[in-house]
Chains A and B, each alone.
Chain A
Amino acid sequence: SYVLTQPPSVSVAPGQTARITCGGHNIGTKSVHWYRQKPGQAPVLVVYDDSDRPSGIPDRFSGSNSGNMATLIISRVEAGDEADYYCQVWHSSGVFGSGTGVTVL
């Protein structure tokens, strides 16, 4: 089965840039999607196809994907960005990363 590896946590100061990684074998050949999940809520799509944003998601959210690593980038971090973030790909079935908790200091 295909495994996606994320760091358990990332801490960032307000106004700084958060980078959340998602590692997988040759992940650069796949489309990576990212979801934000706040406590008690359903996940929300924030980036799809590596770097595209759904409507309503600010341009502070971006992404990259190459080789064995995809990255979600959150610029000018705000307190409201504090949440768990999950990467996801399709590998004959849906596969999610283990999730990264983002803490805004």
Chain B
Amino acid sequence: QVQLQESGPGLVKPSETLSLTCSVSGDSIRSYYWSWIRQPPGKGLEWIGYIYDGGKTNYNPSLESRVTISLDMSKNQFSLNLRSVTAADTAVFYCARQGGNYADTVFDSWGQGTLVTVSS
């Protein structure tokens, strides 16, 4: 059974870069799509983007100019960089597998989430 675990700083200063890593166990990141999703406190879910097939990416158009998702196959991890953050980027960030046991548009396995606060 696949397991995902987010890690990274819980506090980032405005204008800096938010960096998170998702460690995957029980499955290889060489298969499927691997997504980042965020949820501001008390609000809904927002898809950030995914990476697949060794490095191909697709990003939410609203965030595309500030986002980079990358893979480290040697560690079975994928990462998120979100540049020039503001307080509006404060959220719980989830990593998720997409297209695992079901259709390739389905997020079928999620990490527990990590709260990142943007504040000076």
Contacts and interface: CB of A to CB of B under 8 A. Distances in A.
Interface in A54-102: 54-55, 86, 88-90, 93-99
Interface of B: 35, 37, 44-47, 49-50, 58-62, 94, 101-103, 105-108, 110-113
B87 to A, nearest CB: 21
Q: How large is the interface on A (under 10, 10 to 19, 20 to 34, 35 or more residues)?
A: 20 to 34
A12 interface: no
B53 to A, nearest CB: 17
Contacts of A89: 105
A27 interface: no
B110 A48 contact: no
A99 B103 contact: no
Interface in A19-66: 31, 33, 35, 41-45, 48-49, 52, 54-55
Contacts of B113: 42
Contacts of B102: 45, 48-49, 52, 54
Given A42-B113, A48-B102, A88-B45, 5 more contacts: A1-B61, A41-B112, A43-B94, A54-B102, A86-B44
Given A54-B101, A86-B44, A99-B44, A94 B35 contact: yes
A75 B58 CA distance: 37
B105 A86 contact: no
Given A43-B110, A86-B45, A93 B105 contact: no
